[in-house]
Structure 1
Amino acid sequence: MSFCSTPCDQPEENQPLNTEASSTTEVPFPDSYYERITENRYKPTPHASGAWDPDELHFSPLGGLIVHAIDQYLAARPETGLVLARISYDILGRLALDECEIRVDTVRPGRTIELLEAVVLVADRPVVLARAWLLAGADTSAVAGGPDDRLTPPGELGSWPMSSVWPGGYILSLDTRPLAPPRPGRATAWVRSRVDLVAGEPSTPLASYLALVDTANGIAVRQPPTAWMFPNVDLTIHLHRQPVGPWTGLDTTVTFGPTGQGLTSTVLHDLEGPVGHAQQILTVRPLSGG
């Protein structure tokens, strides 16, 4: 993979990104990952495509969309003061670049601890199952403590074109700024998106932040994705503090085992420091002819 140690050519921050070739007959698509179709249905734009196949959906924006749906589910009921502390996603199959429906329900209600479940359906088939633990918020600043290593701010770093490694509209929508040239299995980088999550709708800082976390499996590849597949079949995120955007910091290590399994482990950061951890289990196998 190539690395740009000085700022590469990037679109202006508010300039719409278009992942298709320009032409006089081209119909522009929204500057967002999704459009709302009905109360619970969403249509992806080409910005949401990739990374293993540009004709499929990249999971990262879908992960953020699920949190967006959870936020709206919570907003429709009385305020409880609970905050999302863990969310786990199980990816059940191929993610077609097609309309999806998201259903959110309460599995375990409670005043201080609550468990929600979200199911994503494409063509009436479940493709993602997510579960989110909500915990009571309280002032624990007097006893707060833990690692506080802050990453070099993104404003001091050059951009890296991830499209040199990965195809798809999602990768093209990102501004990625590594702290050092990515190495096989190791990278630390800031990522930011220049497009909205859902067209015409504000997203919470949490949904926008989590919409970028799945990118971790693509910033520190151990083997070229043209020769090996190593997709994650899940993503689990634990938060000890609510993150603030617009940058998502990924301090990522990728390990391949000897029997076809791998693990992507990430310390998550915002500009104030660490906010939690993410884990992704991988299925590792060679591509035909790779």
Structure 2
Amino acid sequence: MAAPTDAPASSLWRFDAIGTVWQIETTAPVADATRAAVAKAIDAFDREWSRFRPDSLVAALAGGAGTVPSPSDAADMLNAFVALDHATRGAVSPLVGASLEARGYDASYTFVDHGAVPAPRAWQERLRWADGSLTLTEPAVIDVGALGKGRLVDRVLAVVAADTDGDLVVDASGDLAVRGGAQRIALEHPYDARRAIGVVEVTDAALCASATNRRAWGDGLHHVLDARTGEPVRTMAATWAIGADAMHADAIATALFFDGGPELAHDWGVEWVRMTTDGRVEWSPGSTAELFV
């Protein structure tokens, strides 16, 4: 959904992780020790938050564990979910995992739709994070997809930046962070990957994108569900958000599928563009994106 359109001479490192393609671009080759540290950071995050692996903390809670050691990211991520919940009137929830599984987006990738299952209401009464513990008072399936990949991009950027001088881009297939020199990023058309609806310049910031044509299956099924109903979003086709860090940009890219997203973006100082399913393009006041509309 977003890719650099031009860049100075650089070293490129590509690899697969958490079910997607990563690309790290630096002005010098990434050292073996740094690559190992990146792999370790990604595996640690996956073992904590993935609902697709049986040995994760999320899987333990879904199985009825009750309380597990709190991941280091829990407070930042779940506090952001509180803001997302409030802004979208409950449309975004970290307990949407069972809703996604019911529509076929489960750990086995069956893609068999069993119908709409709303996420548990009042999730903050069920999911608690304090005193070094993460607790579910009733079994549920946590899914942090609304902002999790952005958070991991931030973590990987920090690892590489600690050992690398100069410009740096970490791109996790549509969620990317830039340190240093400006990068011109194409905003891929959600209905035609050969086209872009515009370009935007990103400097020392993050750009995250989301679209209903990615992770889609069946008849109109995709990964962006309204937690209140368990139904896929129908009005928005794609979103892009630019923020100081990838976690908040990723969160806004999710929020923009719902009413209240633009208001939260304003509160967080995040620039955005979104495209409706009928082809209209909307953007934030003062947007610096060059749009082909």
TM-score, normalising length from structure 2? 0.27
TM-score, normalising length from structure 1? 0.27
More strand by share: 1
More helix by share: 2
